[in-house]
Amino acid sequence: MVGKRLQLLYVSQFPPSPPSYGAQRRIQGLLTALSSRHDVTAVALISPDLDAKVAERAMRAYCKEVVLVQARPWAGTGKRLLQLRALFSGRSFEHHLFNLPALRPLLKRLLSEQAFDVINVEHPFLGHLVVSQAPQGAPHPVRVLDEHNIEFDLARQQAGNEQGWVRRIHNAANWPKIRDEEVEAFRTFDGVTFCSEADEERARVLVPKLRSAVVPNAVDVEHFRPSPALPPSDGRTVMFFGAINYFPNVDGLLYLLRDVWPLLEKSHPQARLKIVGQYPTPQILAFQGPKVEVTGKVDDLLPHLSSAAVTVVPLRVGGGTRFKILEAMSMARPVVSTSLGAEGIAAEPGKDILIADDAAAFAAAVGRVLDTPALGQKLGARGRALVETHYSWAAAGARLERFFFELLAQRPPSAPQGV
C-alpha cells in the first residue's frame, strides 16, 4: 500500500488559494506537498466576495480537479438571521451557515463516480455532509478530519473575552453546540489530524479511542528566507502581523496596545509599532498615531518582516499553532510571544524565542531585543534553523501522507462496497 499513488478528495469551507490567512496557508501548503505524489480533487465553498476564477486558477497548481460551490455571505443581514435561528436551534451557527442544499448531492455524485482513497475534511463544520461512499465494487474511502484548532474551545474562550453583550450571548449559547458536533466528528471520522500535541491531548480527553496524528503548521522556507535584496532591520520597529478581524488577534492586539505598548513607549521612546494585516477593526485603527502604524493588508509581507527589529505575538486566546511565529522565524526575525501564542511550536524559550506572559515582562523582553542587536541576531538564526529542520511543508506533508497510509492499512478487508 505504501508508495501507491492515492486519490485524495479535499473538502473545505473556503478555497485555500490564493492564501491571505493562516488556515488557507495550511491547506495550500499541505496540498502542494501531497500533489507531487498523489492526485488531489478539491471541493471548496466560495463566498460572494471572492473571485471564483482567480481561486480556481490558483488551486489548479496542485489539484487535478477543482469544484467551487457558492457559499452564504460571511457578513450582513443573512448572517444575523442565521445566528438568530441558531440561537433557538440545537445546532450551531456554523452548522446552519455551511449546510448548503447543493453540497451533499454534489459530494455523493463525486463519490459514486470516482474511487477515492481518502476524504479529508477541513474543520468539523462540513463533516456531517461528507458520507462514506464509493463506486460499485470499490472499498469506501477513509475519512480524515483536519483540526486547525479545537473549534469549540476557541469559541468558549471567545465567549469569555468578548466585549459586546450580543456577541457574548451568541458565543455562550453557540460553543456547547460546536462541542457536541465536534466531539461527534471525533468519534465518527476514521482519523483526525491536529496542529499541536496540546490540541491532540485535549481531544483525547473527550474521545480516548481517537485515532489521530499531529501534522504541524509549517512554512514555505524558500519564500520566507532572509535576502540581501530585502531591507535590513531598522533597529526600532516592533511588528505584529496577521488577520485583524480574527478574534484572538484582535484581543491580543488590544492587550498589546493598552497594556504593553505604553510601558515600551516610555522605556524606549525611539520604538515604533507596525501592525500589518487585513481588515483592521475600528478599535485598532483608533490607536494610529506618530508611533503606531496600521498598514492594513500589504501586497508583499517580506520587506516589512525583514526591516522589523522584532516581531510580537501577544496572544491570550486561541489554539493550534501560529503561522506568524513560523514565518517570522523563517525570515530570521526574533520573536517575543506569550506562552499560549507559542504553544505547539518546539522552540526553546530564551534560546529560540522569548516568552513573557504579563505586560511588564512582555515590554521588558521586547526592550531587550531592541537594546541588544546581537540577541536579536542570535534568536533569528536559531529560529531559522528550527524552521528549516522541523517546519517545512515537505516534512508536514510527509507526516500527513504516513497517517493516510496507516489508516488505509487498518481499513478492514471486508470494508463495505459502494452503492
189: Cβ–Cβ under 8 A, 6 or more apart, which residues? 121, 127, 143, 144, 145
Task: Please report the pLDDT score of residue 28 as a whole number.
Answer: 97
Which whole number is the average pLDDT over 96-108? 91
Task: Give φ, ψ of 42 to 5 degrees.
Answer: -120, 135
* Bridge partner residues of 155 (DSSP): none
Q: pLDDT band for 72, please (50, 70, 90 cuts).
A: confident
Write out pLDDT tens, residues 354-375.
Answer: 999 999 999 999 999 999 999 9
Which whole number is the average pLDDT over 114-133? 92
Which of helix, strand or coil describes residue 92? coil
Angle, alpha carbons 332-338-344 (nearest 5°): 75
Residue 14 carries which side chain, given as an amino acid letter?
F
CATH T-level topology, domain 237-390: Rossmann fold (3.40.50)
Q: Pick 171 or 397 by higher pLDDT.
A: 397
Question: What is the rounded distance in angstroms from the CA atom of residue 395 to the CA atom of residue 44?
Answer: 25
Which whole number is the average pLDDT over 128-146? 91
Which of helix, strand or coil describes residue 164? coil
Query: Please, are residues 41 and 7 in contact by the beta-carbon 8 Å criterion?
Result: yes
Residue 418 has pLDDT above 50, yes or no: no
pLDDT over 70 percentage in the chain = 96
108: Cβ–Cβ under 8 A, 6 or more apart, which residues? 131, 133
Task: Please report the pLDDT score of residue 346 as a whole number.
Answer: 92
Which whole number is the average pLDDT over 371-387? 97
Task: Please report the pLDDT score of residue 316 as a whole number.
Answer: 92
What are the sequence ranges of the domains in the chain?
7-218+393-410, 237-390
Question: What is the CATH class of 7-218+393-410?
Answer: alpha beta
Q: Pick 32 or 137 by higher pLDDT.
A: 32
Rg (CA), the chain: 22
Q: pLDDT band for 416, please (50, 70, 90 cuts).
A: very low
Q: pLDDT band for 78, please (50, 70, 90 cuts).
A: confident
Domain pair 7-218+393-410 / 237-390, same fold = yes
For residue 196, what is its C-alpha cell?
499541536
Name which of 121, 130, 174, 127 is nearest 152 in CA terms. 174
